[in-house]
Amino acid sequence: MNSTAIAIPPKQSGSRLLGLPRETLLSWYEDMLLVRRFEEKCAQLYGMGMIMGFCHLYNGQEAVSTGAIKGAINPDDYVITAYRDHGQAISKGVNPKAILAELLGKYTGTTKGKGGSMHIFDRATNFLGGHAIVGGHIPIAAGVAFAIKYRGEKKVCLCFLGDGATNIGAFHEGLNLAGLWKLPVIYIIENNKYGMGTAVERASAVEDLYKKAYAYNMRSEVVNGMDVLDVYQKVKAAADHARATYEPTLLEIETYRFRGHSMSDPVSGHYRTKEEVERLKQSDPIIHLAETLKEEGMISDQYLDEAEERIKQIVQECVEFAENSPEPPIDELWKDVYIERSGE
Amino acid sequence: MAIVSLREALNQAIDEEMARDERVYLMGEEVANYQGAYKVSQGLLQKWGPKRILDTPIAEAGFAGIGIGSAMLGLRPIVEFMTWNFSLVAYDQIVNNAAKMLSMSGGNFSVPVVFRGPGGAAHGLGATHSQALESVYSHFPGLKVVMPSTCKDAKGLLKSAIRDDNPIVFIESEVMYGDKGEIPDGEYTIPIGVGEVKKEGTDVTIVSWSKTLAHVVLKAVDVLQEELNISIEVIDPRTIRPMDYDLIVSSVKKTNRLVIVEEGWPFAGVGAQISHEVASRAFDELDAPVERVTQEDVPLPYAHGLEIRSLPNLDKIRAAVRKVLYLD
Ligand SMILES: Cc1ncc(C[n+]2csc(CCOP(=O)(O)OP(=O)(O)O)c2C)c(N)n1
Ligand SMILES: [Mg+2]
């Protein structure tokens, strides 16, 4: 594989702050930083054996969840995603304490310890899950959009999926239905260049994934996923369009995963070189935003230090909350399998 | 005799059968370049090349179908599912095509494909990634379901599976891949459909298979024999379908008591089928109703405490053994 072929579009100049208020931009910066530091803490806790099972970290992809969810949509819009779900949950406003408690299998977790890392759900924030079977949630997103349209609402559903997920049947059935029935769903391919250890061009007959929308008469666009502003702008445009017309959009967001596929996989190895990872880390979306904000005179080094400190504090509070939370009681095992009283 | 890990035993079986028969090829997610998600196919790409060791996209229905179609023309594919949970995406291919092709085509087309990969729970993988699907697949006439519990059985049975002209569901366990065991030197196979007494005993028969036998039952047997001062016989059917009922019945004739321990859910589980068969063939030999140990009848949660409480464990096996011995 020719690793030099992988390139993230160059960062844009600072004049592109789109006239957004400083406060908004800083809240995005801190959201991205929180996701990064949260994931680093997860890696540490996983290493200590406190998080079990599969744990897929979001490092490198933060601008996607922040720009798309915290930036471009409203709190009452819906988000659904795959198993790499901590970042999107945080950007959606799911309490990070509850997320970490979930990872530690605690009763105070987002699903009382039942779902774990791959299955974060939060009804209160319209976060419809982490889903661990590749592609399984793609038609569900169309169903959510169906219900939005059925009820005559002006909401949208954002559905995040990986590049690898565009090769499974559920992707094609879901997109065809969304295109056919004009459902207000925005499919966001987070093209981080690999599905586990398989590069995009080794798995997909079409390398430009946005083109897959053509088959379903769906709008599509390529987005620079290392630039939170580009993500914000293009997801917002797609969401506005969906609210106005109910039409779906497919966005191919170019990004990169800085860590291994899951905590049990190496960062580099048979499928990508260390050099490639180091090179792509030069486009770190968090550093990119910090530099842009500095160039525009919006922030100082002092702000950056203070933000770092604030985020560190939040993550520490998450850890304390999670560690001090109780395990789920054993009788939880038999709960939530059926609704006892239906139809009321 | 050599000591190898279970993943090496499976690797040897694939490697030897590829050397023996050039129609044999392996495909699945990450089997080639990445050397296997669980390293079962380590080194095979380097040895056999990309024509016979193929990485697939995440497209289980698609590549299961490729396996079936190519088998109809006489190739002998080994289709790896990264785990059996993901086979559910290819369920239609396995159930409607592989299982039925021979019968529905009136004998025109056989489907000599092996679908293989790890099944069952590991540690903390949650409800969608922890399923024991042997009862599901053994429901369908036309499929054979094989589940080894030792390195020796794994190699010998996989070789038989690859040579078998029928579609085979071969279920391994991800937590067993590192288990070590002896395998015979040189060429050998183990026949599909023939069980084995894994430990002789006189007072109670326990039937179990795969990881549940290797990691749970054998350890529980050591504890309970000592604790209850009894002798337990352990039967490993090794194949779920066809089931070696004769072996089980002959053991029950000796011990007069039967406990079946399986990882799957109770409803329509494999143990329910065995229990019925033993009741109808050897009712008069039983001194107690057959007992079953399964996982709790719920989707498996992530939290460690709930997970271990749900799966078969020593406490549940103890309770079942005590019950058939009327010790309570
Ligand atoms: C149907 C199915 N097949 C296989 C897997 C195992 N698996 C989990 S994630 C993954 C790779 C997915 O890659 P991609 O869609 O690009 O998402 P990324 O992990 O890069 O975010 C695979 C093969 C699965 N969970 N579900
Ligand atoms: Mg990917």
Q: Give the pLDDT confidence score for residue A280 in this predicted structure.
A: 97
Is B196-324 in the same CATH topology as B2-183? Answer: yes
| Residue A329 within any structural domain of the chain | no
| Nearest one of B86, B68, B85, B90 to B77, comparing CA atoms | B68
Q: Give the pLDDT confidence score for residue B1 in this predicted structure.
A: 87
Tokens standing for residue B57: 């996209």
Tokens standing for residue A342: 């239906």
Task: HSE, CB side, 13 Å, CA atoms: give it for residue B236.
Answer: 23
DSSP result, A263-294:
TTS-SSSSSS-HHHHHHHGGG-HHHHHHHHHH
What type of residue sits at position B107? Answer: G
- Model's pTM, two decimal places? 0.96
Chain A residue numbers touching B61 (CB-CB < 8 A)? 168-169
On the question of pLDDT at A11 being above 90, the answer is no
- Ligand 1 touching residue A162 (CB < 6 A): yes
Q: What is the pLDDT of residues A172-224, one digit of tens each?
A: 999 999 999 999 999 999 999 999 999 999 999 999 999 999 999 999 999 99
Q: What is the pLDDT of residues A101-159, one digit of tens each?
A: 999 999 999 999 999 999 999 999 999 999 999 999 999 999 999 999 999 999 999 99
Decide if B43 touches A, using CB distance below 8 A.
Answer: no
ipTM (interface predicted TM):
0.96
Atom of ligand 1 nearest to the CA of A54: 8
The shortest CB-CB distance from B306 to any of A197, A204, A333 is to A333
Main-chain dihedrals φ then ψ at residue A131, nearest 5 degrees = -135, 130
Q: What is the pLDDT of residues A282-309, one digit of tens each?
A: 999 999 999 999 999 999 999 999 999 9
Decide if B178 touches A, using CB distance below 8 A.
Answer: no
| Residue A279 within any structural domain of the chain | yes
- Bridge partners (DSSP) listed for residue B264: none
- Ligand 1 touching residue B29 (CB < 6 A): yes
The span from the CA of B7 to the CA of A15, in Å, is 57
Distance A169 CA to ligand 1 centre (A): 13
- b/e burial code for range B223-235 (CB count within 10 A of at least 16 → b): ebbeebebebbbb
Determine the residue among A100, A198, A268 to mutate to test chain B binding: the one whose Cβ has the most chain B Cβ atoms within 10 Å: A198
The span from the CA of A72 to the CA of A301, in Å, is 27
Question: Whats the size of chain B, residue-wise?
Answer: 328
Neighbours of B202 (CB within 10 A): 12
On the question of pLDDT at A6 being above 80, the answer is no
The shortest CB-CB distance from A167 to any of B58, B86, B299 is to B58
Q: What is the mean pLDDT of residues B6-12?
A: 98
- Ligand 1 touching residue B91 (CB < 6 A): no
More confident residue, A344 or B133: B133
Q: What is the mean pLDDT of residues B123-143?
A: 98
Chain A residue numbers touching B81 (CB-CB < 8 A)? none
The span from the CA of B57 to the CA of A195, in Å, is 9
User: A188: part of which helix (H) or strand (E)?
Assistant: strand A185-191
User: A130: part of which helix (H) or strand (E)?
Assistant: strand A127-130
Q: Give the pLDDT confidence score for residue A8 in this predicted structure.
A: 66
SS3 B115: strand
Q: How far is B131 from chain A (nearest CA, A)?
A: 13
On the question of pLDDT at A2 being above 60, the answer is no
Share of chain B above pLDDT 70, in %: 100
Check if the beta carbon of residue A185 is closer than 8 Å to that of residue A141.
yes
Sign of CA dihedral B175, B178, B183, B186: positive
Decide if B50 touches A, using CB distance below 8 A.
Answer: no
- Ligand 1 touching residue A133 (CB < 6 A): yes
CATH (domain of A190): 3.40.50.970
Q: Using 50, 70 and 90 to split pLDDT, how confident is the model at A14?
A: very low
For chain B, domain boundaries: 2-183, 196-324
- Bridge partners (DSSP) listed for residue A221: A251
CATH architecture of B2-183: 3-Layer(aba) Sandwich (3.40)
Q: Do B297 and A337 touch (CB under 8 A)?
A: yes
- Ligand 1 touching residue B89 (CB < 6 A): yes
Q: Do A330 and B305 touch (CB under 8 A)?
A: yes
Q: What is the pLDDT of residues A243-279, one digit of tens each?
A: 999 999 999 999 999 999 999 999 999 899 999 999 9
Tokens standing for residue B12: 């040897």
Q: Using 50, 70 and 90 to split pLDDT, how confident is the model at A1?
A: very low
User: B171: part of which helix (H) or strand (E)?
Assistant: strand B168-172
DSSP result, B172-227:
E-GGGTT-EEEE-SS-----TT--EEEE--SSEEEE--HHIIIIIIHHHHHHHHHH
SS3 A217: coil
SS3 A162: strand
Residue numbers of the domain that contains A231: 18-321
Decide if B37 touches A, using CB distance below 8 A.
Answer: yes
Query: Counting one residue from A and one from B, how many pairs have CB atoms under 8 Å apart?
Result: 130
Q: How far is B311 from chain A (nearest CA, A)?
A: 11
Q: Give the pLDDT confidence score for residue A3 in this predicted structure.
A: 46
Q: How far is B39 from chain A (nearest CA, A)?
A: 12
On the question of pLDDT at A240 being above 70, the answer is yes
Distance A164 CA to ligand 1 centre (A): 6
Q: What is the pLDDT of residues B183-202, one digit of tens each?
A: 999 999 999 999 999 999 99
On the question of pLDDT at A310 being above 50, the answer is yes
Distance A195 CA to ligand 2 centre (A): 4
Tokens standing for residue A183: 């459902």
SS3 B60: helix
| Residue A9 within any structural domain of the chain | no
Distance A119 CA to ligand 1 centre (A): 14
Decide if B304 touches A, using CB distance below 8 A.
Answer: yes
| Burial zone of B323 (CB within 10 Å; 0-12 exposed, 13-18 middle, 19+ buried) | middle
| Residue A342 within any structural domain of the chain | no
The shortest CB-CB distance from A198 to any of B55, B61, B302 is to B55
Q: Do A333 and B89 touch (CB under 8 A)?
A: no
Q: How far is B193 from chain A (nearest CA, A)?
A: 32
The span from the CA of A184 to the CA of B294, in Å, is 44
- Ligand 1 touching residue A164 (CB < 6 A): yes
The span from the CA of A319 to the CA of B198, in Å, is 47
The shortest CB-CB distance from A134 to any of B33, B58, B124 is to B58
| Residue A11 within any structural domain of the chain | no
Q: What is the pLDDT of residues B83-97, one digit of tens each?
A: 999 999 999 999 999
* Mean pLDDT of chain A, nearest integer: 95
> Catalytic site residues of B?
60, 129
CATH architecture of B196-324: 3-Layer(aba) Sandwich (3.40)
Sign of CA dihedral A107, A112, A114, A117: negative
| Residue A230 within any structural domain of the chain | yes
